[in-house]
């Protein structure tokens, strides 16, 4: 499958390009970028605009790694040109925008998927196994956090005062997608979103609580955490699980390591499972994380049929909670998710 990657900023360069190139069944043919002097080798053509990429009949899949506000318009253009589409998170700026893209894909008979790569984090895979195996018992509380220490505001679109900027749209989709994969759709969400850094223009703090029947899921992300905090804390009726540190794949990709090479995706340190009755602690190391599974799954869906690893329905579910969280912040109150048919 010929692939055009639109956008070669941090996400395009660090994540999408190397993962596409490491996936069987996909061939990165074109990169759309305004960067001067960009050279990715003789097999990758550099063009200035999406229209030029869509004029190439060898391009069957368009991957959008552009600023968030461009996601829906560019996805619609690519779908209307008969291409399949992968969109970096967040899917769109609103649930209605995302739904319009999904509807267009259905009308055109094309695939649309969203790059929720954090499903293939090593620690998340370990947590998923513990929950599904019953090792924790019924989970009563999950805390899931992306804490970073970046006190200096940077001049980039993610940190400017513009639609789709800020930490809730940047990291919120990761946290929400993982929660939905584990526990499904919540009953409601209460969110607090703020700007904490001096000179900040876009939100750099987000704290949300997803309410289920008995379970509570706490999602947190900020840019001012100098002291380390757990990545996951899961408390169940039988045991609890704690893990530290972010998945290593992003740092490996930034360092230029080839996806799938020796040591790829191996957790830097194991998590800890604590038995509620005995207090005995056991080290838990999850399977190696592997973001290639997303693009391998996309290729399999396109070449052999079936659904991609992140379906349109799942992508819309994330957008529903993301939008409800923003609304909760604006109202300073819990936002209930409306009942679903059936």
Separation between Cα atoms, residue 3 and residue 13, nearest integer Å:
14
- Computed over every residue of the chain, the mean pLDDT equals 96
Separation between Cα atoms, residue 54 and residue 64, nearest integer Å:
13
Give residue-wise pLDDT tens across range 237-290: 999 999 999 999 999 999 999 999 999 999 989 999 999 999 999 999 989 999
**Which CA distances in Å does 31 have to 172, 232, 243?**
27, 36, 37
DSSP H or E stretch at residue 85: strand 84-88
- For residues 148 and 223, the answer to whether their CB atoms sit within 8 Å is yes
Give residue-wise pLDDT tens across range 4-43: 999 999 999 999 999 999 999 999 999 999 998 898 989 9
Burial of 169 (0-12, 13-18, 19+ CB in 10 A): buried
* DSSP string of 185-233, one letter each residue: --SEEEEEEE--STT--S--EEEEEEE-SS-EEEEEEESB--S--EEEE
Domain-wise residue ranges, the chain:
2-115, 118-290+322-335
**CATH of the domain spanning 118-290+322-335:** 3.30.360.10
| pLDDT value at 293 more than 90 | yes
Separation between Cα atoms, residue 289 and residue 231, nearest integer Å:
15
Separation between Cα atoms, residue 71 and residue 93, nearest integer Å:
8
Separation between Cα atoms, residue 59 and residue 65, nearest integer Å:
16
Give residue-wise pLDDT tens across range 191-236: 999 999 999 999 999 999 999 999 999 999 999 999 999 999 999 9
Tell me, which fold does domain 2-115 have in CATH?
Answer: Rossmann fold (3.40.50)
pLDDT of residue 270: 95
Cα-based torsion angle of the residue sequence 101, 33, 173, 301 in order, rounded to the nearest 10 degrees = 60
Give residue-wise pLDDT tens across range 247-256: 999 999 999 9
What percent of the chain has a predicted confidence (pLDDT) above 90? 94
Those residues with Cβ within 8 angstroms of residue 314's Cβ, 6 or more apart along the chain or in another chain: 114, 116, 177, 180
Residue 29 has φ and ψ, to the nearest 5°, of -100, -30
Taking the model in full, what pTM does it have? 0.96
| pLDDT value at 311 more than 70 | yes
- For residues 3 and 63, the answer to whether their CB atoms sit within 8 Å is yes
pLDDT of residue 339: 82
Give residue-wise pLDDT tens across range 141-186: 999 999 999 999 999 989 999 999 999 999 999 999 999 999 999 9
pLDDT of residue 22: 95
Give the CA count within 13 Å in the CB-facing half-sphere of 111. Answer: 23
């Amino acid at each position: 499958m010929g692939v055009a990657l639109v956008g070669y900023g941090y996400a395009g360069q660090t994540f999408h390009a190397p993962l596409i190139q490491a996936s069987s069944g996909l061939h990165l043919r074109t990169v759309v970028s305004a960067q001067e002097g960009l050279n990715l080798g003789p097999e990758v053509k550099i063009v200035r605009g999406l229209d030029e990429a869509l004029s190439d009949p060898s391009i069957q899949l368009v991957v959008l790694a552009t600023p968030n506000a461009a996601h829906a318009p560019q996805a619609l253009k690519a779908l209307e040109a008969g291409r399949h589409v992968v969109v970096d998170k967040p899917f769109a700026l609103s649930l209605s925008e995302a739904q319009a893209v999904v509807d267009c894909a259905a009308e055109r008979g094309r695939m649309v998927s969203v790059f929720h790569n954090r499903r293939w984090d090593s620690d998340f895979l370990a947590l998923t196994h513990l929950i599904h195996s019953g090792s924790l018992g019924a989970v009563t509380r999950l805390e899931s956090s992306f804490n970073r220490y970046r006190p200096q505001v940077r001049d980039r679109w993610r940190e400017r005062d513009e639609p789709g900027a800020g930490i809730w749209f940047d990291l919120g989709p990761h946290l929400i997608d993982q929660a939905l994969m584990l526990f499904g759709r919540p009953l409601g969400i209460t969110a607090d979103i703020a700007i904490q850094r001096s000179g900040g223009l876009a939100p750099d703090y987000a704290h949300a609580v997803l309410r289920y029947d008995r379970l509570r899921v706490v999602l947190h992300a900020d840019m001012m955490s100098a002291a380390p905090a757990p990545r996951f804390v899961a408390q169940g009726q039988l045991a609890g699980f704690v893990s530290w540190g972010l998945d290593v794949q992003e740092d490996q990709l930034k360092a230029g390591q080839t996806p799938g090479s020796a040591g790829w995706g191996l957790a830097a340190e194991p998590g800890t499972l604590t038995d509620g009755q005995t207090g005995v602690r056991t080290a838990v190391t999850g399977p190696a994380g592997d973001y290639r599974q997303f693009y391998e799954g996309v290729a399999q869906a396109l070449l052999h049929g079936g659904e991609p690893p992140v379906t349109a329905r799942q992508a819309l579910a994330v957008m529903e909670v993301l939008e409800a969280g923003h609304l909760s912040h604006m109202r300073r109150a819990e936002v209930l998710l409306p009942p679903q048919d059936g």
